[in-house]
């Protein structure tokens, strides 16, 4: 099966196919997808996935999670913990 170039494993696409999936499961899938992306990936990838998959089902929980990712809700606050958080940059 061919998936979107920014979703090569099909994680986001398959989330749209899971009947009865909820927001918490979609967030976990999104997190897994985000961790698998190369460093330096941009919000344009999320926009492309939302256009490719979310346009067909804008009310799907994954569409909401992708929109949250675009708005910055899924971005870390910049706070670092542990020893790195105590050391000056």
| Per-residue pLDDT reduced to its tens digit, 57-88 | 999 999 999 999 988 755 555 565 677 666 77
Structure tokens at 17: 């196919």
Summarize the confidence of residues 24-37 as an average pLDDT. Answer: 93
Residues contacting 18, CB < 8 A, separation 6+:
25
Question: Can you tell me the distance from the alpha carbon of 54 to that of 60, in angstroms, rounded to the nearest whole number?
Answer: 7
Percentage, residues of the chain above pLDDT 90:
56
Question: Can you tell me the distance from the alpha carbon of 70 to that of 4, in angstroms, rounded to the nearest whole number?
Answer: 18
| Global model pTM greater than 0.85 | no
Helix boundaries (H) for the chain: 11-17, 23-36, 43-49, 61-71, 82-86
Res. 7: pLDDT tops 90: yes
Hey, where are the domains in the chain? 11-74
pLDDT of residue 76: 55
């Amino acid at each position: 099966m061919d998936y979107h170039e920014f979703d090569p494993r099909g994680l986001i696409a398959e989330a749209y196919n899971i009947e009865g999936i909820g927001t918490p499961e979609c967030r976990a899938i999104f997190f897994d997808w985000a961790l698998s992306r190369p460093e330096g990936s941009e919000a344009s990838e999320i926009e492309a996935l939302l256009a490719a998959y979310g346009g067909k089902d804008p009310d799907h929980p994954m569409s909401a999670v992708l929109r949250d990712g675009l708005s910055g809700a899924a971005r870390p606050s910049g706070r670092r913990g542990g020893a790195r958080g105590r050391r000056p940059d």
